[in-house]
């Protein structure tokens, strides 16, 4: 009997050794599979970030160590704060409107049967079109003198606008000067916001359609049987179940709103104070003013702002997300 017990113990010990070697081998295989991604992230993401932090501590024009001087200079620079204001207006204008418009279109597309694929392709087409090519068309439509939009306004008796070169605030224009021109986004910035909503909504529509397709139909049918209206179904059934989708799009669009460059630079060839967001401001410091250290400091500040905004969204908005 004792011999049998010793045999079983020896077998269990051997099994433990085999399982331990197997788990170690799995760890080695997992590390090998992850290594290409980690190398790419390290070379093209983490190293540039660390190098940007490093050069932000120097005055590259004079080649001397500057410490936090570039950061203090940014906080004392009026042009920096104007670019922050433009970025804030742009984010407030694009993110909520893009989500609302994209969800509305996606919900309508989800309900129709006739030519559904055609309309899905039609709305997704701007997203896959080059932003520069699309902006060129928009610039032609919004020309102050011969643009199609102004010609249509003249034909119906409305005064033409400068559109992409108008620095006055849109609230000042709408109220006929009652609100100061410095308050609110400029008309040029509103044109950029409208362009980016049109250009980026195709991605959100496709994601919303995928989310709507995953909602069980019996939930909506049960709400209908209980007498719920269309708005009540959307509010109490569709939106809560789409909260992970909405949260994902909110995070992505908020980050993208800080990083927008193509639309600003393509629509407005020489961005002014009313259309220069943080990315364009950083670009100007690097390539026009040759202030590499200062530009890197502003880029680091923007990166920190994006990280902080994402943490706040995860902290407060993420709590309201309902996962199945």
What does the pLDDT read at residue 25? Answer: 62
Residue whose structure tokens are 């005055």: 59
Is residue 254 one of the residues assigned to a domain? yes
Average pLDDT rounded to a whole number, residues 205-227: 84
> pLDDT for 135-179, tens place per residue?
889 998 988 877 888 888 888 888 888 888 888 888 888 888 788
Residues linked to residue 291 through DSSP beta bridges, in sequence order: none
What does the pLDDT read at residue 198? Answer: 92
Q: Provide the percentage of residues in the chain whose pLDDT is more than 70.
A: 90
Same domain as 184, residue 45: no
What does the pLDDT read at residue 301? Answer: 93
Distance of CA 251 to the CA centre of its chain: 7
Distance CA 57, CA 46 (A): 17
pLDDT exceeds 60 at position 8: no
Q: Closest Cα to residue 142, out of 312, 44, 267?
A: 267
CA dihedral 219, 224, 227, 231 (to 10 degrees): 90
Q: Provide the percentage of residues in the chain whose pLDDT is more than 90.
A: 29
Residue whose structure tokens are 């995070």: 251
> pLDDT for 279-295, tens place per residue?
999 999 988 888 899 99
Reading the block at residue 65, the tokens are: 């160590």
Pick the range with the lowest mean pLDDT from 51-60, 193-202, 230-239. 230-239
Residue whose structure tokens are 């980050």: 255
Same domain as 43, residue 183: no
> pLDDT for 69-124, tens place per residue?
899 999 999 999 999 999 999 999 999 999 999 999 999 888 887 777 788 888 88
What does the pLDDT read at residue 225? Answer: 79
What does the pLDDT read at residue 98? Answer: 93
What does residue 169 show for φ and ψ, rounded to 5 degrees?
-65, 145
Average pLDDT of the chain is 84
What does the pLDDT read at residue 112? Answer: 81
Reading the block at residue 301, the tokens are: 């500040």
Is residue 290 one of the residues assigned to a domain? yes
Same domain as 264, residue 153: yes
Q: Which of 27, 55, 83 is the last residue of a domain?
A: 55
Is residue 286 one of the residues assigned to a domain? yes
Same domain as 34, residue 120: no
> pLDDT for 13-45, tens place per residue?
554 555 455 556 666 666 777 778 888 888 888
What does the pLDDT read at residue 21? Answer: 57
What does the pLDDT read at residue 254? Answer: 92
Which one is predicted more confidently, 50 or 62?
50
CATH number, domain with residue 177: 1.10.3720.10
Confidence category of residue 324, pLDDT binned at 50, 70, 90 = low
Residue 307: Cβ within 10 Å count: 11
Distance CA 200, CA 129 (A): 10
pLDDT exceeds 80 at position 318: no
Q: Which domain holds residue 244?
A: 73-320
Is residue 61 one of the residues assigned to a domain? no
DSSP assignments along 191-211, one per residue: HHHHHHHHHHHHHHHHHHHHH
Same domain as 78, residue 28: no
Query: In total, how many domains does the chain have?
Result: 2
Average pLDDT rounded to a whole number, residues 224-230: 80
Confidence category of residue 4, pLDDT binned at 50, 70, 90 = very low
Same domain as 126, residue 36: no
What does the pLDDT read at residue 12? Answer: 45
């Amino acid at each position: 009997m004792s011999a049998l017990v010793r045999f079983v113990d020896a077998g269990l010990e051997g099994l433990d050794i085999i399982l331990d070697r197997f788990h170690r081998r799995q760890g080695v295989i997992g590390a090998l599979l992850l290594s290409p991604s980690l190398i790419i992230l390290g070379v093209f993401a983490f190293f540039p970030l660390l190098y940007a932090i490093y050069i932000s501590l120097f005055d590259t024009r004079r080649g001397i160590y500057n410490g936090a001087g570039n950061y203090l200079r940014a906080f004392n620079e009026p042009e920096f704060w104007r670019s922050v204001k433009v970025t804030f207006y742009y984010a407030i204008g694009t993110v909520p409107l893009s989500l609302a418009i994209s969800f509305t279109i996606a919900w309508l597309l989800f309900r129709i049967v006739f030519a559904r694929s055609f309309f899905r392709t039609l709305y997704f087409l701007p997203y896959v079109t080059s932003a520069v090519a699309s902006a060129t068309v928009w610039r032609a439509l919004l020309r102050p003198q011969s643009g199609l939009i102004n010609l249509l306004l003249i034909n119906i008796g409305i005064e033409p606008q400068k559109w992409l070169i108008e620095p006055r605030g849109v609230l000042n224009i709408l109220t006929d000067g009652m609100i100061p021109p410095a308050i609110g986004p400029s008309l040029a910035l509103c044109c950029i916001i409208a362009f980016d909503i049109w250009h980026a909504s195709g991605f959100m529509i496709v994601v919303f359609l995928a989310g709507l397709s995953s909602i069980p139909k019996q939930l909506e049918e049960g709400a209908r049987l209980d007498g719920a209206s269309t708005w009540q179904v959307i509010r109490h059934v569709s939106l809560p179940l789409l909260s992970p989708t909405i949260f994902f799009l909110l995070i992505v669009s908020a980050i993208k709103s800080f990083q927008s460059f193509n639309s600003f630079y393509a629509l407005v060839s020489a961005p002014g104070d009313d259309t220069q967001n943080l990315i364009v401001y950083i670009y100007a410091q690097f390539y026009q003013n040759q202030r590499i250290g200062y530009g890197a400091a502003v880029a680091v500040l923007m990166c920190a702002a994006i990280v902080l905004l994402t943490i706040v969204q995860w902290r407060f908005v993420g709590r309201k997300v309902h996962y199945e």
